[in-house]
């Protein structure tokens, strides 16, 4: 085995947003056998560094769904930012439609100042329509979204556009299925974008040449490693691009059905140290 790429949310992270000691041990074991272990996530690289700080995990990080690749020392190896015209069009539309959004640049997660208010309005509408609705899971989804590191609030998307910074990923989040569908239909035919979903309540956009799969391919070429001897572990639809690239793949026990169907191996859930189980499976393959 040359390389193992591991997704973060729903995969390496358990439901408490933590990386278990067993998963850390398995990663170190793989590294000890000369395997390059890579974290591949939709999150920002600086947020990932905070999550793994103190764990002594020295890895390459594919972030923003493949739009950036950082070396183990934190320096940038490769990036593909979105076109400014697309950033402008997307953010203007999301703001007009009252979406909660996040835009990742090199240093921050840019998000509307009224973001929490927007999501609370959606929750209130759900409770009003169905007073018996269990919104516990939805509240947990909000809590997880805001657990990220590096938020910078803006009054308007125009602040982001006027700053003319490189934007790598834009995430739109809503509990309204019709609203999400409308957003997906708005952007899915744009040839300049990669459109993916990493969870039930979002869709995300990057440059057309950005995906986890393309980033895994780029890194394998850089390190002179074989894609046939590369394994990937994931749970969500944004992991499908790297699953299709790699010679070996594992779906988490909690993965989406499409991910399970596309993968060669089914491991345990993220609350059962599924990453550790998959890594040890690959090391003996």
Please tell me the CATH superfamily of domain 3-80+210-283, with its number: HAD superfamily/HAD-like (3.40.50.1000)
The CATH number assigned to the domain with range 84-207 reads 3.30.1240.10
Name the β-bridge partners of 251: 234, 266
Q: What integer pLDDT is reported at residue 285 of this predicted model?
A: 85
Q: What integer pLDDT is reported at residue 134 of this predicted model?
A: 83
Q: What integer pLDDT is reported at residue 132 of this predicted model?
A: 82
CB 250 within 8 A of CB 278: yes
Residue 2 appears among annotated catalytic residues: no
Name the β-bridge partners of 194: 206
Which position among 2, 7, 134, 162 bears the catalytic label?
A: 7
Of 27-31, 55-59, 154-158, minimum mean pLDDT range: 55-59
Q: At what angle do helices 84-96 and 177-187 cross, to 10 degrees?
A: 150
CA angle 12, 115, 152 (to 5 degrees): 70
Name the β-bridge partners of 273: none
Is the dihedral angle over the CA atoms 237, 238, 243, 249 positive or is it negative? negative
| Domain 3-80+210-283 identical in fold to domain 84-207 | no
Summarize pLDDT for 206-256 with one digit per residue, the tens.
999 999 999 999 999 999 999 999 999 999 999 999 999 999 999 999 999
Q: Where are the domains of the chain?
A: 3-80+210-283, 84-207
Burial of 258 (0-12, 13-18, 19+ CB in 10 A): middle
pTM: 0.96
The one-character DSSP state at 11 is I
pLDDT grade for 140, boundaries at 50, 70 and 90? very high
CB 138 within 8 A of CB 173: no
Burial of 186 (0-12, 13-18, 19+ CB in 10 A): middle
């Amino acid at each position: 085995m040359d390389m193992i790429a591991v997704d973060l949310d729903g995969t390496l992270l358990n439901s408490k947003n933590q990386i278990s000691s067993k998963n850390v041990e398995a990663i170190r074991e793989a590294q000890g056998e000369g395997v390059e272990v890579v974290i591949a996530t939709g999150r920002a690289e600086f947020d990932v560094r905070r999550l793994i700080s103190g764990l002594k995990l020295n890895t390459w990080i594919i972030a923003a769904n493949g739009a950036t690749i950082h070396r183990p020392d934190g320096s940038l190896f490769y990036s593909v930012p979105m076109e400014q015209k697309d950033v402008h069009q997307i953010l203007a539309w999301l703001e007009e439609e009252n979406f909660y959004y996040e835009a990742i640049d090199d240093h921050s997660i840019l998000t509307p100042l009224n973001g929490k208010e927007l999501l609370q309005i959606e929750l209130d509408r759900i409770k009003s329509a169905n007073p018996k609705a269990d919104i516990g899971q939805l509240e947990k989804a909000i809590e997880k979204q805001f657990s990220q590191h590096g938020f910078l609030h803006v009054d308007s998307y125009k602040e982001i556009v006027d700053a003319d910074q490189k934007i790598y990923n834009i995430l739109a989040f809503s509990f309204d299925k019709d609203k999400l569908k409308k957003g997906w239909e708005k952007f899915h035919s744009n040839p300049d974008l990669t459109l993916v979903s990493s969870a039930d309540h979002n869709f995300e956009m990057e440059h057309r040449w950005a995906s986890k799969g393309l980033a895994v391919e780029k890194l394998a070429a850089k390190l002179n490693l074989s894609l046939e001897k590369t394994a990937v572990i994931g749970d969500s639809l944004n992991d499908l691009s790297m699953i299709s690239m790699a010679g070996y793949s594992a779906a988490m026990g909690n993965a989406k059905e499409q991910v399970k169907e596309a993968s060669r191996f089914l491991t345990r859930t993220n609350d059962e140290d599924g990453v550790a189980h998959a890594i040890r499976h690959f090391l003996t393959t």
